[in-house]
Structures are given as structure tokens and as C-alpha cells.
Chains A and B, each alone.
Chain A
């Protein structure tokens, strides 16, 4: 429905002119620089997923501005429109294109086949080709850290979790959170409410209200708007934000947030493309690579809890802590990961079961 495509060159040549893919107007200077394109599923102003990707683009400009120019197209619906937009970028001299949503997978692959000399990077997908790389972040590592904090901060031992859609990425996040929560607080349990949408502020707020009325005293969200943070602030309970620092929507309530950080990755990859060392690899980075970070801790979190969270982060970076370390049982008590073993990447990518401590059935 929203087909607004805002083109903007890195040099600010076009300013914020709302010209449909009007990126052809480069100067002679700009022609010599490598053109890098970014495709976003939401508006760059969402203060969430697309905003964070755009921060990565801005970092590329800052670091390599003398060698590259960047272009972005926002609000691109997943599906047929995406293919048109990606193809348009490839046909207008962009040598490298980042497509930043799961639903762009097949369109990106198709366009990559048509433009063998353009380097493509697709976020959160699994299809690669000789000029198509993939990348994603291990968000579950961040959820382990907030799970530990939640275990120490909850008084009622009931945590509410607002899920978007039941896909493995979200399920593994719920599980990682619950495991860490019960590691420090074995009595605690997690109630999950699915809103079946990534972005519906009204419904996210309703879900938060419902959970709070059922007696949870901390909310975790895996949806993109700041509405749950606002609701938690209003009702006087704690909340963990998503994708970016949402403190301003609930200064008292917002304990911390999982922050996606694509800056290192984007700068590295564009550098590699400039050097000619770019390869169509798969990157799955976590806390160690800087892709997953935490927003500043709320001062309400006691010092020893902050220390514990920081230690967990350090251990994850050092490789001495894994979010899914056995023994891990599912809800029925069946051992899914035996003692002394970690879940493999494949098991995490296909996770479709809840661990013990999660209330409610996982929709299939």
C-alpha cells in the first residue's frame, strides 16, 4: 500500500527530494565512487529495525565517504515490488546492494542472477549464490543477558512476553530468555502473547495491558513499536525494549533494550568490496561481533545485577557461555539438548518448541 520511495544520495545532492528512485543524478565526482544501495522494509524513522540498518548505512558514509556514495529506498513491501526496486538499484550503477528484510530473499536472488557483477547482501535469509551473501544477528544472545536481569528484578516471578509471529528467531529468543531467567530464579515463568504482527502499536499496547492485568511485573517485547514500553511506564512496571534504545518512551520502566548494530558489519563488507576481497559468505554475528548490543542500563538495576549482566556478556564473547547449554527440557519434560552439549546453529535456526517455564502452547 505504501509505495513511497524516497531516493537520497549520500552527498545530499538530491536532499530529501521525494523522487521515485531518482538516483540517476550523480555528478562526475560521484560517478567515480562505488555506489552502495540499501532497501528497507519500514520507514527509516521507525526507531527500530529499519532505523538501525540506516545507522549502519550512515556509518559506511562516515567511514568511507570519500570512496562510496550510498542510496536507500524505504518502505519497500516484501514481494513483487521489492524485485522491481532492487532491480532498479542494480540497473542504475549500484555495485553493492543490501536488502534488509527476510521477505526480500527470493527477489534478491532473482535480481542477483540477472546482475552477476553486482554484489548483493541479504539480511536474515538463507539463500546464497556466487554474488549473494547473507547475514543475520544472534539476537538470542542478547535475550540471555536480559533474562538474567529479569530473574533478579522480578518480584512476582511472572514475566510477560509479547511475541510478533511464531518463527524460529522469535521462539529461540523466548527460550534463551526463559533459560537465563530460570537459571537465576527457578520459580519464575514466562507468559507469551502473540500479536501476529511486527508492528501495530495499538495491539502491542493491548497485549501489554492484558499481561499486566494478569499479574506480570516485567514485559519483554519482540515487536517493533515502543507502545509496550509506554504502557509499562504508565502502569509502573519494568520492560525491555527492542531493536533500539527506547528509554525516552519510559524512562523509569525501560531497564535496557536489545540493540541491533549493523555498523561494523556494513563498514567491513563495503571495505571488502572496495578491496576486491568480498566473498558471498554467511555471517551470523552476536554480541562478540558487535551486531547485538544492549542499551544503557536503567539506574534501577542494582550494581551487582549489572555486574552479572556484564559478566554474562563477557562470557558469551569469550565463548565460555552458550545461550543453549544442556540439559534443556521442553515443556513436556523431554530432554531436547543433553547435558554437556550446546544447541547447534541448525537446531537454533529451526527451533519450534518451548523450553520448560514457558506457559502456553506454541502455535504451529
Chain B
């Protein structure tokens, strides 16, 4: 009985950490897309964030500096994307894909001197009282600061997008950039800020991989999590609180299937490995069946190029 509880606690604890990089990247992309910009370069921004965060931590000895560097590097990549798509009006889909390819290569180049260097894990902080719950408490309620930060970002962004003036302006720009422009809002400037925020969040998500999840640098360390984050945004119909549910679902199923294998259930491991993706697709299909729901939630100007002159 106790053993089962330990396993359940372990699944939940691992789920929280597995969801964190997805959560950061997907929340950033929600803000970017809500402003009407589709940035498919999440994977590339995560990788550059991961390697720059790692390099900065090795150089400075401080994880805090590393996380800031990861955010700055992700924002730097996003700035490049912004200049191309917002100022030079290139196609967002093609530019985003190129950004990912560029990020994969750039991160490998920067990371050449950092392969094989181990880093210590960042310290974990226990939540008082809750972490004293026997058996499951220590695992579930004791994490590094970024896990908590990711969780706090969910209500903060939900509030920002639905209750704050700035958030409503951002959404207006994403829904109808011509109207927002006519009302005097600086569409391009607002979109730049949204894109930069998305990049910084992706950078932190990548940095979480190389600083806390597996504190090391290895080429392609994010292993496709950027693409999962992009899927989660649609899955969540562009809402922060649903992003959290999606990230937990994906992380939880990933971890649970590893436990199922270890316990020796006779289920093919290939099938189990597909489970997180199947679960995500099933939910996506269920949501997409309801056309009105997607249409109501998807920013109407998503991916459309805005030119103030016309």
C-alpha cells in the first residue's frame, strides 16, 4: 500500500517537473499568438535559451544569472523573428520554421565547449506544512523555484489577458489589427513586445531543461518539446489555465507510462510511448469538432501580416 502511494507521489512530482518546460514555452506562445503572431520557432528559441542559460551558469556560477541569460537569449531569437516578420513583413510560418532550424544549429555551435560539463541541481524549496505530509509530501511539494514560477505565471497571465487593460489591447490587436490601428494603438510595437515575451518564456523553458531537469548541455536537449508546446497552445484554445491542464496531461501520461513499464504490465512499450501524443491528439480532435469553439478562441488575425499603410 505504501509502495503504491510512493509511486503515485513520484508520478505527480515527476509530472510537475516534466510539465514545466512545456508550460513556460506554451504560455509564452499563447501571448505571442494572442497578439496575432504565429511563431513556430519555439523549439529553436528553447534550444538557444538552454545553451545560453547553461553557458552563463557555468561562467557565473549562479543559476539565477543563467535563467536571466536564457530568457534574454530566447528574447534575442524572438527579436530576430520580429524584425523579419513585423518590420520586413516576411511570411510568419516560413520564418518560424527557419528560426527553429537556425536555433538548432546555433545552439550546437555555441554549445561546443560545454558538452560534458556537469552542473549541480538548483536547490529545491519545500512548501511548509504540505511537504510534511508523509510519503507523498516531500516529492510533490518540494521543487526548484522555476516550477513554482511556472505555476504562478498561469493565473498571472490569465488575469493579464482577461482583466488588464494592456492585455485587452493586446488581444484587440490579435483579433483585428486594422481596427486596433484605427483606434490609435501601435500594432507593430505591441506585437514586438508580445513576440519578445514569448521568446523569453521559451528561453526559460529551454533553460529549465539544461539547468534543472537534466543539468547538462547536450545537442538537441529539448528533444521536440517546442513542438509539443505549440500543439498545447491550440489544445488550450489560447487560454493559460488550459495550457496548464494540457502540460500536466502530457507530462503525467509520459511519466505514468514509464512506471507502467517498470511494474511489468504486459502492454507494448511502443504503444505506451505514443500515449502522450495520442492523448493530446484525441483532446485536440474533441475540441476541433466544435468549430465555434476554435473560432471563438483563435485570434482572428493570427498569422496575418499587418502593414500600417494598407
Given A196-B270, A234-B121, A360-B261, the answer on whether A201 and B112 have CB atoms closer than 8 Å is no
Total interface residues in chain A, CB < 8 Å: 48
Nearest CB of A to B123, in Å? 12
Residue-wise, chain A 201-215 has the 8 Å CB interface mask toward B (1 for contact) of 111111101110111
Does chain B have a CB within 8 A of A191? yes
Majority SS at the chain B contact face: helix
Closest residue of B by beta carbon distance from A224: B218
Nearest CB of A to B255, in Å? 6
Does chain B have a CB within 8 A of A230? yes
Does chain A have a CB within 8 A of B221? yes
Interface residues of B in 257-310 (CB under 8 A from A): 258-259, 261-266, 268-270, 273
- Asked if residues B6 and A213 are in contact (CB atoms below 8 Å), the reply is yes
- Asked if residues B262 and A211 are in contact (CB atoms below 8 Å), the reply is yes
Contacting residues, chain B, for A195 (C-beta < 8 A): 258, 273
Q: Which of B73-81, B156-164, B184-192, B209-217 contacts A (4 or more CB under 8 A)?
A: B209-217
Q: Which of A42-50, A281-289, A344-352 contacts B (4 or more CB under 8 A)?
A: A42-50
- Asked if residues B116 and A194 are in contact (CB atoms below 8 Å), the reply is no
Does chain B have a CB within 8 A of A330? no
- Asked if residues B270 and A363 are in contact (CB atoms below 8 Å), the reply is yes
Assembled-state Cα–Cα distance A152/B151 (Å) = 44
Assembled-state Cα–Cα distance A242/B263 (Å) = 24
Given A2-B220, A200-B223, A213-B7, the answer on whether A359 and B264 have CB atoms closer than 8 Å is yes
- Asked if residues A191 and B116 are in contact (CB atoms below 8 Å), the reply is no
Contacting residues, chain B, for A210 (C-beta < 8 A): 10-11, 14, 255, 258-259, 262
Does chain B have a CB within 8 A of A193? yes
- Asked if residues B258 and A207 are in contact (CB atoms below 8 Å), the reply is yes
Does chain A have a CB within 8 A of B108? yes
Contacting residues, chain A, for B216 (C-beta < 8 A): 201, 225-227, 230, 249
Nearest CB of A to B169, in Å? 37
- Asked if residues A206 and B18 are in contact (CB atoms below 8 Å), the reply is yes
Contacting residues, chain A, for B270 (C-beta < 8 A): 194, 196, 363
- Asked if residues A2 and B225 are in contact (CB atoms below 8 Å), the reply is no
- Asked if residues A45 and B264 are in contact (CB atoms below 8 Å), the reply is no
Closest residue of B by beta carbon distance from A42: B219
- Asked if residues B259 and A205 are in contact (CB atoms below 8 Å), the reply is no
Does chain A have a CB within 8 A of B149? no
- Asked if residues B258 and A249 are in contact (CB atoms below 8 Å), the reply is no
Does chain B have a CB within 8 A of A341? no
Total interface residues in chain B, CB < 8 Å: 45
- Asked if residues B108 and A4 are in contact (CB atoms below 8 Å), the reply is yes
Contacting residues, chain A, for B263 (C-beta < 8 A): 191, 214
Contacting residues, chain A, for B108 (C-beta < 8 A): 2, 4, 43, 75
Contacting residues, chain B, for A359 (C-beta < 8 A): 264
Nearest CB of A to B220, in Å? 7
- Asked if residues A46 and B218 are in contact (CB atoms below 8 Å), the reply is yes
Nearest CB of A to B256, in Å? 9
Interface residues of B in 216-270 (CB under 8 A from A): 216, 218-223, 225, 254-255, 258-259, 261-266, 268-270
Does chain A have a CB within 8 A of B115? yes
Nearest CB of B to A221, in Å? 13
Nearest CB of A to B76, in Å? 20
Interface centre among B220, B265, B270 (most CB of A within 10 A): B220
Contacting residues, chain B, for A363 (C-beta < 8 A): 268-270
Assembled-state Cα–Cα distance A227/B218 (Å) = 10
Closest residue of B by beta carbon distance from A210: B258
Residue-wise, chain B 52-82 has the 8 Å CB interface mask toward A (1 for contact) of 0000000000000000000000000000000
Contacting residues, chain A, for B209 (C-beta < 8 A): 201-202
Given A2-B105, A192-B261, A227-B214, the answer on whether A249 and B112 have CB atoms closer than 8 Å is no
Assembled-state Cα–Cα distance A363/B261 (Å) = 11
Assembled-state Cα–Cα distance A213/B222 (Å) = 24
Contacting residues, chain A, for B101 (C-beta < 8 A): 1
- Asked if residues A193 and B261 are in contact (CB atoms below 8 Å), the reply is yes
- Asked if residues A194 and B269 are in contact (CB atoms below 8 Å), the reply is yes
Contacting residues, chain B, for A168 (C-beta < 8 A): none
- Asked if residues B259 and A214 are in contact (CB atoms below 8 Å), the reply is yes
Assembled-state Cα–Cα distance A210/B121 (Å) = 18
Assembled-state Cα–Cα distance A226/B210 (Å) = 13
Nearest CB of B to A161, in Å? 10
Closest residue of B by beta carbon distance from A361: B266
- Asked if residues B262 and A160 are in contact (CB atoms below 8 Å), the reply is yes
- Asked if residues B218 and A225 are in contact (CB atoms below 8 Å), the reply is yes
Given A209-B14, A214-B263, A361-B266, the answer on whether A202 and B219 have CB atoms closer than 8 Å is no
Assembled-state Cα–Cα distance A199/B220 (Å) = 9
Contact check: which of B6, B11, B214 meets A202 at CB < 8 Å? B214
- Asked if residues A205 and B273 are in contact (CB atoms below 8 Å), the reply is no
Contact check: which of A203, A226, A231 meets B223 at CB < 8 Å? A203
Contacting residues, chain B, for A205 (C-beta < 8 A): 213-214
Does chain B have a CB within 8 A of A65? no
Given A201-B216, A214-B7, the answer on whether A196 and B254 have CB atoms closer than 8 Å is no
Does chain B have a CB within 8 A of A26? no
Interface centre among B118, B209, B218 (most CB of A within 10 A): B218
Does chain A have a CB within 8 A of B3? yes
- Asked if residues B219 and A191 are in contact (CB atoms below 8 Å), the reply is no
Does chain A have a CB within 8 A of B40? no
- Asked if residues B221 and A191 are in contact (CB atoms below 8 Å), the reply is no
Given A45-B219, A201-B214, A360-B261, the answer on whether A206 and B255 have CB atoms closer than 8 Å is yes
- Asked if residues B258 and A193 are in contact (CB atoms below 8 Å), the reply is yes
Closest residue of A by beta carbon distance from B225: A202
- Asked if residues B215 and A202 are in contact (CB atoms below 8 Å), the reply is no
Assembled-state Cα–Cα distance A146/B245 (Å) = 42
Closest residue of B by beta carbon distance from A359: B264
Nearest CB of B to A251, in Å? 9
Assembled-state Cα–Cα distance A88/B218 (Å) = 28
Contacting residues, chain A, for B221 (C-beta < 8 A): 201-202
A sample of 6 inter-chain contacts (CB < 8 A) reads A2-B104, A2-B220, A194-B261, A196-B269, A200-B223, A213-B259
| Extra contacts besides A43-B115, A249-B118 (5): CB < 8 Å | A197-B223, A201-B209, A206-B258, A210-B259, A361-B266
- Shortest Cβ-Cβ A-B pairs, 5 listed: A213-B10, A194-B269, A360-B264, A210-B258, A45-B115
